[in-house]
Amino acid sequence: MAAITYDKATLQYPGADKPSVNALDLDIADGEFLVLVGPSGCGKSTSLRMLAGLEDVTDGSIRIGDKDVTHVPPKNRDIAMVFQNYALYPHMSVADNMGFALKISGMGKEEMRKRVEDAAKVLDLTQYLDRKPKALSGGQRQRVAMGRAIVRNPQAFLMDEPLSNLDAKLRVQTRTEIAALQRRLGTTTVYVTHDQVEAMTMGDRVCVLKDGFLQQVDTPRNLYDKPDNIFVAGFIGSPAMNLVEVQLTGEGATVGGKPVPLPRSAVSALSAQNQTTATIGFRPEATSLTTAENGIPFEVTVVEELGSDAFAYGSFPGAQTEAGRERLITVRIPGRNVPMKGETVHLQVDPESIHVFNTETGKRISE
């Protein structure tokens, strides 16, 4: 086990006009489960491949423990990688697949068999050791790929979207198993996913990337409660945070013709920056139904009924996207009090739950 450090690590492919990963500064503690998350093309898999030695670092450095591994071959980095497509040998049994790397390294048969059996016990694979991969389900194959990594007892596990080939129900089950296994083994783990729900439920910390730049790295709770910028606010959370550009007034802002109070410190900070508009963010659960006199008009477009709760999707008057279309707003409402499609209801936003951002820079205004 070891800590991992990215020190201004940059990768720019030949012929590319900008880096795929741009000056990444990141410290991963010994034994930590860190998740890299972001939209397609943000640089998360490239960052992982740089750590594995599968991509050459253009600038900066990467350290595993006290060792600079920037230009060290992959086989000498003492890491184990779990891929999206399992990468199992179809002609080998589960036991042979799990022990193959040990066999190549010249380990004795008895020691190799013991390690494989110990890993199989941890992963509930003992009864499948003599089977071929084609006789296993997708979830079992993924556990074999995990077992192949575990038997090596590496300093770090690197996982590149290992659950993306599984169906929704199995993904939930397997991500729980992986997180529990990592806590039991205590091995430093870097895990890549595009699924922010997966990131939030698995990671000790989550690192959000966009266009090769690190946006924020923090605990799942802090990312949800205190996003650093508009991108993180809109990316983290399911459903996503509502983001609305508003006109500032002396006391706060106006939304749909109704006043919405904002923290005095945020209004002062924006005023000092000569801003007449701001972007406010609020989670779907930060709204409640109220009267026409007190609430913001909200025209319901679609309702998703989930039993105890429901999510209503619609729009506020005047809330538009940059393309001029109505901005879709999501609100959470009690499952027993669901409005009809096309109905206009009135909403109140909890002032304590409003996030304020500078529209120009996208940065959070600290309250």
Q: What is the pLDDT of residues 224-234, one digit of tens each?
A: 999 999 999 99
What domains does the chain contain, in order, with CATH numbers? 4-231 (3.40.50.300), 242-357 (2.40.50.140)
Q: For residue 43, what are its two tokens?
A: 């640089």
Do the Cβ atoms of 82 and 156 come closer than 8 Å?
A: no
Question: What would the pLDDT profile of 249-265 be if each residue is shown by its tens digit?
Answer: 877 888 888 888 888 88
Residue, of 162 and 9, whose pLDDT is higher? 9
Question: What would the pLDDT profile of 177-199 be if each residue is shown by its tens digit?
Answer: 888 889 988 999 999 999 988 99
Would you state the pLDDT for residue 263?
87
Q: How far is CA 21 from the centre of its chain?
A: 17
Q: Is 204 helix (H, G, I), strand (E, B) or coil?
A: coil
Q: How far is it, in rounded angstroms, from Cα 42 to Cα 215? A: 11
Q: How far is CA 17 from the centre of its chain?
A: 27
What single DSSP character describes residue 341? T
Do the Cβ atoms of 44 and 192 come closer than 8 Å?
A: yes
Would you state the pLDDT for residue 249?
84
Cross-strand bridge partners of residue 364: 357
